[in-house]
Amino acid sequence: LIEKTQSVAEVIAANAPMSVKSVKKAMNHGISLNLTQAMEVDLALYKALIATNDRKEGINAFNEKRKPAFTGE
C-alpha cells in the first residue's frame, strides 16, 4: 500500500502545482456544497488558471508530444 501511495503521489506531484492546489481547494470546498455551488467553485478556480504560464506550457508540451516543465506560474 505504501508503494502504491507513493507512486500515485508522484504522479500527482508531476502536474502543474497551481492546478493541483486548485483541485484540492475544489474538493475541500465542494464537499459541503450542492452540485450547482460546487460547479461554480470549480469554474471560478478554472478561470483563475486560464492565463497562467503553466497552462500554456501544458498545452505546448501536449502539442509537441513532450513532458511539460511546470514552473508554478
Per-residue pLDDT tens over the stretch 23-48: 999 999 888 999 999 999 999 999 99
Rounded to 5°, the CA angle 41-36-38 comes to 30
Buried b (16+ CB within 10 A) or exposed e, 11-40: eeeeebebbeebeeebeeebeeeeeeebee
Residue with cell 506550457: 57
pLDDT of residue 52: 95
Please check the confidence at residue 9 and state whether its pLDDT lies above 90: yes
Rounded Cα gap, residues 68 and 71, in angstroms: 10
Which pTM does this prediction carry? 0.78
